[in-house]
Amino acid sequence: MSRLTVLTVAENTGELLDLMISSVFRYTSPEPKVIVCNNGKVDKYIKKWDEDSRVTIINNKPSMSGGSNRHGEGLQRIFGLADTPVTAILDSDTVLLSNKWCEFDMDRYDLVGLERGTESGKVEKNYYHMCFVIMNTAIFKQMDFRPGNKNTRRSGKSYLKKEDVGWMIKSFTIPSKVKLLKFVNLKNTSGTVFDNLFCSVEIHSDGEVIAAHFGRGSNLNGKIDRSGFNSTKTQVKLWVEVAREHMK
């Protein structure tokens, strides 16, 4: 039986969600529980995985607008359903690339993750990126995964760094109990699996690629195309093709 539950929040990510869940089962043994909070429409991929006994789909209608609000509300709704010692939070536009992605000593670490700031090459240590986080479940049971607090939380709000969920994680652990991973920024250089045609990042552990993040968040419809790169639609098609070839 797996010690791991995988959580994700999806909002109209389509085939990227299908890719992410497929990669979880491709690279994780024993197979974990997967719980999806669906903040968007019920498409063919949501229907497909809702029929799979390994996956639980929770359909949700977020109470507020704004990506951070909606994503945080989704995580808050499903984190309490994790009943295994270890919980992984993966963005629905993340893909796993190696069975080493969860091979960490979770008796030693409270948290495995990445610090924002390092993504752009900055030296400053900032706050944790919620696209890929592995947690000691019991440590984070009391955490509120919504940004801000009940007095400051509102639709469309841009939150201060210290109101961000990735910052609030810091109060639940200490640096010696954190395993830091590395971003490889594909905007500037080719990675191990993906090249620099993608406005995205790979995630590396001790020099090995373990995952990649497409980089449009949990709601592709809310993102604009980025200058100097193919359209989001074209990038999704190519991203899925490269990832599925790697998974063979």
- HSE-CB of 20 using CA atoms within 13 angstroms: 30
What was the pLDDT predicted at 165? 94
Dihedral sign from CA coordinates of 226, 228, 231, 234 = negative
DSSP state, 128?
A: B
Residue range of the domain that includes 27: 4-247
Q: What is the CATH number of the domain that holds 96?
A: 3.90.550.10
What was the pLDDT predicted at 116? 81
Chain-centroid distance of CA 247 in Å reads 19
Distances (CA, A) of 90 to 11, 44, 151, 154, 188: 13, 21, 28, 24, 24
What was the pLDDT predicted at 123? 53
Per-position pLDDT tens, the chain of length 248: 899 999 999 998 899 999 999 999 999 999 999 999 999 999 999 999 999 999 999 999 998 888 889 999 999 999 999 999 999 999 999 999 999 999 999 999 999 999 887 666 555 667 899 999 999 999 999 999 999 999 999 998 988 888 999 999 999 999 999 999 998 988 778 999 999 888 789 999 999 999 999 975 444 554 555 666 677 788 889 999 999 999 99
Going along the chain, which residue ranges are E strands? Answer: 4-10, 33-38, 55-59, 86-90, 94-96, 111-113, 132-136, 178-180, 182-185, 201-205, 208-213
Tokens 């479940």, located at residue: 137
What was the pLDDT predicted at 216? 53
Q: What are phi and psi of 100, to 5 degrees?
A: -85, 0
Number of domains in the chain: 1
Amino acid at 44: K
DSSP state, 32?
A: P
Rounded Cα–Cα distance for residues 218 and 212 (Å): 14
